[in-house]
Amino acid sequence: METENVVKILKMLQNEYSEAKYYLDFRNPVDLVCATILSAQCRDEVVNATTKKIYLDFKSAKDYAEASVEELEKYTSSITFYKNKAKNIKKAMEILDSEYNGKVPESTKELIKLPGIGKKTANAIMQNAFGVVEGVIVDTHVIRISQRLHWTNEKNPEKIEKDLMTLLPKEYWKELPHFLKSLGRDVCKAPTANCKECVLSKVCPSFIS
């Protein structure tokens, strides 16, 4: 797709979903490490309801590091794969506490070394905790809709991210996932899209009447 048409689509999305914003609640980078670990394959509302309680009792990486996994599990039990995620939170916070003086490193390379943090969650932390945009968050909505828009033929999230970084002007890298999450929940659903109701109905190559 020509860059001109991509920008046209991005502007249409921006007009339609001007209120779209990052979806996980946090107060500081340590909170966001916890929230992003919990967010894998879990609805944002459930993560936000869970972290609301966690944040009351855990203020620093040390607080998490000193808790037992069983104690953390009491907070995370309504989350998918909660046992594994509780373990990852504890291990990640132990590393932050012992190796980074309780701070979250402002580096994608360092972040992806933490248990439970991949490229997607590292992008989310870099963008939202530090205001540094080095990539595009590729979640399930970005994968599905980028394919439907023919912005990528790839299935692997890292390859999709590379395609998007080549195709999209950088000023849209941070906002695109917010727009596509709104579009995906609204009309471009899996498995069936409601194309007649879609703001992109006249420009999308996958439009189904």
Residue 112: strand, helix, or coil: coil
Q: Which of 90, 139, 174, 181 is catalytic?
A: 139
One residue of 40, 54, 176, 198 binding ligand SF4 per CB under 6 A: 198
Q: Closer CB to ligand SF4, residue 34 or residue 180?
A: 180
Total chain residues near ligand SF4 (CB under 6 A): 12
As a three-state string, the secondary structure of 1-50 is CCHHHHHHHHHHHHHHCCCCCCCCCCCCHHHHHHHHHHHCCCCHHHHHHH
11 is known as an active-site residue: no
- Tell the smallest beta-carbon distance from residue 177 to ligand SF4 (Å): 15
- Angle (nearest 5°) at CA 99 between 112 and 24: 45
- Tell the smallest beta-carbon distance from residue 195 to ligand SF4 (Å): 3
139 is known as an active-site residue: yes
Only one residue has tokens 């439009």, namely 207
187 binds ligand SF4 (CB under 6 A): yes
147 binds ligand SF4 (CB under 6 A): no
204 binds ligand SF4 (CB under 6 A): yes
Span near ligand SF4 by CB under 6 A; candidates 41-49, 50-58, 96-104, 197-205: 197-205
Q: Could you give phi then psi for residue 193, rounded to 5 degrees?
A: -90, 145
One residue of 80, 167, 188, 209 binding ligand SF4 per CB under 6 A: 188
Burial of 62 (C-beta count, 10 Å sphere; 0-12/13-18/19+): middle
Per-residue contact flags (x/-) with ligand SF4 for residues 88 to 127, judged by CB under 6 A: ----------------------------------------
- Angle (nearest 5°) at CA 29 between 162 and 80: 75
Alpha-carbon torsion angle 123, 99, 50, 20, nearest 10 = -20
Output the six-digit token pair for 73. Answer: 């599990």
Dihedral class, residue 169 (left if φ above 0, else alpha if ψ from -120 to 50, else beta): beta
10 binds ligand SF4 (CB under 6 A): no
Residues annotated catalytic, as ranges = 120, 139
Residues of this chain that interact with ligand SF4 (CB under 6 A) are: 145, 148, 187-188, 193, 195, 198, 200-201, 204, 206-207
